[in-house]
Amino acid sequence: MSKQIKVSLIGNPNTGKTSLFNALTGLNQKVGNYPGITVEKKEGICKLERGVKAHILDLPGTYSLNASSIDENLVIELLLNKNDKDFPDVAVIVSDVENLKRNLVLFTQIKDLKIPVILAVNMADRMKYKGISLDIPLLEKELDAKIILTSRDGSLGISELKECIVNFKQISTKPSIDLSLIDENYFNSLSSAFPNQDLYKLWVVISQDANFGKMDRNSLDILDFKTKSTSELKRLQQKETIKRYQFINNALRLGQVIDSSKAVGYRAILDRILTHKIYGYLIFFIILLAIFQVIYDWSSVPMDLIDTAFADLASYTKEVLPAGVMTDLLAEGIIAGIGGIVIFIPQIAFLFIFISILEETGYMSRVVFLMDRVMRKYGLSGKSVVPLISGTACAIPAIMATRNIENWKERLITILVTPFTTCSARLPVYLIIIALVIPEGSFLGVSYQALTLMMLYMLGFGMAIFSAYILNKILKTNRKSFLVIEMPNYKVPVLRDVLITVFEKTKSFVLEAGKIILAISIILWVLASYGPGENFNDAENIITEKFEKFENINIESEIASHKLEHSYIGIIGKSIEPIIKPLGYDWKIGIGLIASFAAREVFVGTLATIYSVGNTDDVESTIKESMSSEVYSDGSKVFTLASGISLLLFYAFAMQCMSTLAIVKKETNSWKWPLLQLIIMTLIAYVVAFISFQILN
């Protein structure tokens, strides 16, 4: 067997599908989007016995083949289209041992499509705590399927699952139920009308409300088959579901025993505490505060090492390589620019670690439920909480997540306010500015810097809620929606899953940001190293003549500063300085603001490049030291408490992200909303930054 085996992982949400995917693929995986739609696509390679490989596709969670969302449509489209390059040779249905009855509905539906199916009963290590016992041989006989018991940590059943995948051709594809028993006349006439088509496949296509993107329903000529009304089709769906549950109940009655007296339960007690109307918010606040404190404490050592390493690398490069344009570009442009983002990998990684742990334990779902009480008061769907919270990682997937909000007005408001939440791209800006202007010290054992970061996160979330309230008043509607969310069981995080998640997200962040930073660093270096006219070209003579009578003046440093000021980038910065000076910013910060529109995190790399270009007398100076020592012509510091707070608030409220604007345009199918979003958020950021600087200054 030389070709790859195509395997689809399918299951209800919260069944541990991602854990099984990680156990099979490890780091041999990649994450992207399905072409043309904003749905995450996870795929990886699994090595099997005898040199065989399996291409594993982790499909979005779905409860059944009765589609109600884009995610579920995608699953159905793939399973109905044998011409799709990802159509599975075998499907692994992942079920939760505690919700086996409900999970088996999807299992029977996919089995009826005559696709070879393996049933992976996940979290089997929890059976003894829940008083559950399964007779696997009997269940395999009753369900006519191959069943593998697996665990979230990958310690159980993985080798057996791989063996089943290799031998998928031996798996029975006999349907679970006979559709004709639901309505004999209708299904016999359907079968007669389309004798060359699979009956259940026809029924799935006919019974869907949604339109399929990849699959042309007209190609089956089934839209002309209108012997049933929509309401009658719905009744047939209900009868089908009842028939499936009868089949499932008969199987579980013989093969499953649940002894509730042996079950060990603490979920109800924890839920009462964590979702309490007072304690719940307090606990969430304390958890966030602890996370930010740890981010600062644990990441300081690796950050200092990275900072020094890049400064030393730039210095070593200039010493070893021959003097010239390419050496300057490498040392001052590329190395300095990349160093400006790599330095924040420890803090970003720690942030993703804690977010992943909160999700893995099941606590994040409780947070969503808890915050729904607040969200409803502002006219938002409870589902809006998911994008707002996930926006702390990145606004782009958070805005994509709004597709699950059925009400268009609520979805639009969520899209427009989500960029206010503090994403990980803002984190590098916050961290470097906080380190520069917020003094060391602590309050009740929590450092001032951690408290400042916490306040910025709360400020962003608060502004999102306030903006939603205003938009809700402007865009009035009488329709109300309610949060429907499944609370997963509490689980101990699997270290492998947490580490893989952190690795993939951090890698994605660094690579995506790195492409932009590398390109912009080169452009900035060119703009900073060249300029028009005599002021730039004759800088050496001008400065030498100006300071020839002065002692203790570093002529080389003055020449570099003069050339930077009269370079192309200096001219750009000087041209916008009158606009940003009331905010406490100089022309160098202005350049950073413009460059960071490509991506917020570019701001730090931009300043690192600019200061590195002008700092010829001390190439080993680190980014923080260079920014800290920056002064105006009168000797006053550029980065003060007033200008620092102003800059923090500007980035807290400004859009400053081209990619987010692009995804808003795509999700709203209009340039109207992203342009309004850009203008309004920029105005808010400017006004707030202006007021804060004028007061503190």
Please provide the DSSP assignment of 15-84 as one string. Answer: SSHHHHHHHHHTT-EEEEE-TTS--EEEEEEEE-GGG-EEEEEEPPP-S-SS--SHHHHHHHHHHH-TTS
First and final C-alpha spacing in the chain: 73
Q: What percent of the chain has pLDDT over 70?
A: 82
Q: What is the pLDDT of residue 219?
A: 46
How sure is the predictor about 531, in pLDDT bands with cuts at 50, 70 and 90? confident
- Same domain? For 312 and 427 the reply is yes
**The pLDDT of residue 240 is above 80:** yes
40-49, 314-323, 388-397: least confidently modelled range: 388-397
**Which of the listed residues 232, 262, 292 is the one where a domain comes to its end?**
262
17-21, 441-445, 466-470: least confidently modelled range: 441-445
* Residue-level length of the chain: 697
8-22, 110-124, 163-177, 208-222: least confidently modelled range: 208-222
User: Structurally, how many domains does the chain consist of?
Assistant: 3
**The pLDDT of residue 239 is above 50:** yes
How sure is the predictor about 192, in pLDDT bands with cuts at 50, 70 and 90? confident
SS3 7: strand
SS3 589: helix
Whether residue 479 lies inside any domain: the answer is no
**Which of the listed residues 445, 474, 503 is the one where a domain comes to its end?**
474
- Same domain? For 238 and 287 the reply is no
- Same domain? For 25 and 154 the reply is yes
Distance separating alpha carbons of residues 251 and 328, to the nearest angstrom: 73
Q: What is the pLDDT of residue 693?
A: 93
Average of per-residue pLDDT across 290-307: 78
Q: What is the pLDDT of residue 397?
A: 62
Q: pLDDT digit string (tens) for 627-647? A: 777 777 677 787 888 999 999
Distance separating alpha carbons of residues 450 and 6, to the nearest angstrom: 47
**The pLDDT of residue 542 is above 90:** no
Q: pLDDT digit string (tens) for 24-34? A: 888 777 665 44
Whether residue 431 lies inside any domain: the answer is yes
Average of per-residue pLDDT across 370-378: 76
**The pLDDT of residue 245 is above 70:** yes
Work out the angle between the directed axes of helices 70-80 and 199-207 (0-180°, nearest 10): 160
| Strand partners for 119 | 93, 147
How sure is the predictor about 94, in pLDDT bands with cuts at 50, 70 and 90? very high
Q: What is the pLDDT of residue 386?
A: 67
- Other C-beta atoms closer than 10 Å to the C-beta of 636 total 8
Question: Looking at beta carbons, which pairs linking 256-263 to residues 24 or more positions away fall under 8 Å?
Answer: 256/100, 256/132, 256/133, 256/134, 256/135, 256/139, 257/132, 257/133, 257/134, 258/130, 258/131, 258/132, 259/131, 259/132, 259/133, 260/131, 261/131, 262/128, 262/130, 262/131, 263/129, 263/130, 263/131
SS3 188: helix
**The pLDDT of residue 142 is above 80:** yes
- Same domain? For 647 and 568 the reply is yes
Q: What is the pLDDT of residue 614?
A: 52
- Same domain? For 257 and 284 the reply is no
**Which of the listed residues 262, 295, 324 is the one where a domain comes to its end?**
262
Q: Which carries the bigger pLDDT value, residue 254 or residue 116?
A: 116
Whether residue 482 lies inside any domain: the answer is no
- Other C-beta atoms closer than 10 Å to the C-beta of 617 total 12
Say which DSSP state 330 is in. I
- Any idea what the Cα angle at residue 646 is, between residues 645 and 649, rounded to 5°? 85
Distance separating alpha carbons of residues 57 and 10, to the nearest angstrom: 9
Q: What is the pLDDT of residue 226?
A: 55
Q: Which carries the bigger pLDDT value, residue 433 or residue 663?
A: 433
- Same domain? For 531 and 453 the reply is no
Distance separating alpha carbons of residues 179 and 357, to the nearest angstrom: 44
- Same domain? For 149 and 236 the reply is yes
188-197, 404-413, 496-505, 668-677: least confidently modelled range: 404-413
Range(s) of the domain holding residue 349:
279-474
- Amino acid (1-letter code) at residue 536: F
User: What pTM was estimated for this model as a whole?
Assistant: 0.65
Whether residue 140 lies inside any domain: the answer is yes
Whether residue 497 lies inside any domain: the answer is no
Q: What is the pLDDT of residue 528?
A: 76
Structure tokens at 332: 């001052």
Residue with tokens 């993107």: 213
- Same domain? For 321 and 451 the reply is yes
- Same domain? For 213 and 312 the reply is no
**The pLDDT of residue 476 is above 80:** no
Residue with tokens 């199987």: 251
How sure is the predictor about 616, in pLDDT bands with cuts at 50, 70 and 90? very low
CATH classification of the domain holding 116: 3.40.50.300
Whether residue 37 lies inside any domain: the answer is yes
Average pLDDT over the chain, rounded to an integer: 80
Whether residue 593 lies inside any domain: the answer is yes
**The pLDDT of residue 474 is above 70:** yes
Answer for the pair 455, 368: CB distance below 8 angstroms, yes or no: no
**The pLDDT of residue 626 is above 80:** no
Average of per-residue pLDDT across 524-540: 81
- Same domain? For 458 and 538 the reply is no
**The pLDDT of residue 553 is above 70:** no
Structure tokens at 175: 């349907």
176-190, 387-401, 494-508: least confidently modelled range: 387-401
- Same domain? For 425 and 533 the reply is no
Element at 525 (helix H, strand E): helix 495-529
Whether residue 495 lies inside any domain: the answer is no
- Same domain? For 293 and 212 the reply is no
